[in-house]
Copies of this chain bind each other. A is one copy, B any other.
Amino acid sequence: MNIEMIRAADGRLEGHVRRTPLLASPFLDEIAGRRVWIKPECLQHTGSFKFRGGWSAVSAMAPDVRAQGVLAFSSGNHAQGVALAAAKHGVPAVIIMPSDAPEMKIDNTRALGAEVVLYDRASEDRDAISARLLAERPLTLIKPFDDAFVIAGQGTCGLEIAQQAAAEGIAEADVLVCCGGGGFASGIALALEADAPGLRVRPAEPEGFDDMARSLASGAIERNDRMSGSLCDAILTLQPGEITFPILSRLAGPGLVVSEDEAMHAVALAFSRLKLVAEPGGAVALAAALFHPREIEGEDVIVTISGGNVDAGVFRQALERFGS
């Protein structure tokens, strides 16, 4: 896993990925006490950065293997990213999703042409379902984060951040990345190491699911106690990946941990100040920038909004509680 793989993914993504802009708002700068720069991957195809990794992985497969179809498990964003990448390559996709995933994510994954297999988190074993499908059908598994081609795809966002930061004259800054298993954060970290060594990744996570922050602190992979029970569904993972953790251990600064209320407040501020729809899990990095300023260094901070696939009811709740 190295920078050349990210540059190769960037070539495969050319003409297919959306190059998202770098946004800002003076109102957010005032809250944060420094310049806040926003990388809005909610505007990416399928509403999250996951399309980058999905396309990278699908496009890297040999055509005859790809033609047999791909398999993914996901609460919804990786699902949609892989589904669209497969559909655009004209190959079948089977996606295993928890039955309590946000309705919009399940509906969209189906609408993008994938076969969705739902399972009950409490009573069924996702890995067993996955193993059975792989035994029965000639599908290739695309893991959500611990896969070199997926990480390489997510890293293309880091190449863009490096270019955009240079254009704005930002030589040094923390780059806050919403973090589940660490695919997005580790890809960005590798890209920044090569193209913008003054920028440093800081993983951001919700309280109770801060496995990456604890792992970075202890130097060994730590687990969460649970994998559900948060509105930040997009970034709930059991533990850091075996590929992602060593990369972040070497390159990332300390993790940032925000409350679910802070994430929902950030959703409301992205609405009013950026005119963007962020999902709670996609807003944890913004929440860290706005509400944990003393844990961040420098005059500028760069923040990913990693996704915007939020059900209307949850969004209304954010506006009711935190909308002015």
Q: Decide if B27 touches A23 in the complex (CB within 8 Å).
A: no
Chain A contributes a number of interface residues (CB within 8 A of B) equal to: 34
Bound Cα distance from A278 to B277, whole angstroms: 10
Write the nearest CB–CB distance from A21 to chain B, whole angstroms: 6
Bound Cα distance from A43 to B274, whole angstroms: 7
Q: Decide if A324 touches B312 in the complex (CB within 8 Å).
A: yes
Closest chain B residue to A275 by CB distance? B308
Interface assignment of A111: CB less than 8 Å from any CB of chain B: yes
Interface assignment of A234: CB less than 8 Å from any CB of chain B: no
Interface assignment of A18: CB less than 8 Å from any CB of chain B: yes
Contact pattern, A 30-58, Cβ under 8 Å of B = 1, otherwise 0:
00000000001011000100000000000
Q: Decide if B271 touches A315 in the complex (CB within 8 Å).
A: yes
Bound Cα distance from A112 to B275, whole angstroms: 17
Given contacts A23-B43, A43-B23, contact A319 B315 (CB under 8 A): yes
Q: Decide if A43 touches B111 in the complex (CB within 8 Å).
A: no
Write the nearest CB–CB distance from A253 to chain B, whole angstroms: 28
Beyond contacts A27-B108, A40-B275, A276-B276: 17 other A-B pairs, Cβ-Cβ < 8 A, are A18-B21, A23-B43, A26-B112, A43-B275, A43-B276, A104-B324, A271-B312, A271-B315, A274-B277, A275-B276, A275-B277, A312-B319, A312-B323, A315-B323, A316-B316, A316-B319, A316-B320
